């Protein structure tokens, strides 16, 4: 589910980037799109490790999530805030479940 969310958010950012007029905002959206693309890959790898019962590695991968909101610091409008927080919650749940399995 988190992988799908990351992919959906990446596509949403691409759509926002196409209509955004500010070059600065477009650069930020591009950076966020790259983060979500990488996040989807990391989540897929973590899922593969969970399936292979390599829980320690999966836990490390899930704990390394980066926030897209960081590139919007100081701005009043953060167009991806809701999606970014939701992804963070999903990653935290997955990390909690993985940590519980490891223990």
Q: Where are the domains of the chain?
A: 2-102
- d(CA 67, CA 85) in angstroms, rounded, equals 8
Return left, alpha or beta for 14; rule: phi > 0 is left, psi -120 to 50 is alpha, else beta: alpha
Say which residues have a Cβ less than 8 Å from residue 30's Cβ, sequence separation at least 6: 17
- d(CA 94, CA 46) in angstroms, rounded, equals 10
More confident call, 17 vs 65: 17
The pTM assigned to this predicted structure is: 0.63
2-19 and 81-102 helices, crossing angle to 10°: 160
Q: How far is the CA of 34 from the CAs of 1, 50, 93, 96, 98, in angstroms? A: 19, 24, 23, 25, 25
Taking only the tens place, the pLDDT of each residue in 1-45 is 666 766 677 777 777 777 778 888 888 888 888 887 887 788 788
**CB 9, CB 85: distance < 8 Å:** no
């Amino acid at each position: 589910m988190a992988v799908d969310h990351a992919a959906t958010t990446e596509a949403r950012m691409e759509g926002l980037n196409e209509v955004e007029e500010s070059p600065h905002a477009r650069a930020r959206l591009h950076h966020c799109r790259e983060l979500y693309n990488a996040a989807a890959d990391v989540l897929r790898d973590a899922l593969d490790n969970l399936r292979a019962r390599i829980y320690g590695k999966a836990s490390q991968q899930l704990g390394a999530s980066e926030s897209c909101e960081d590139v919007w610091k100081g701005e009043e409008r953060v167009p991806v805030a809701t999606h970014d927080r939701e992804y963070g919650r999903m990653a935290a749940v997955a990390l909690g479940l993985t940590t519980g399995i490891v223990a």
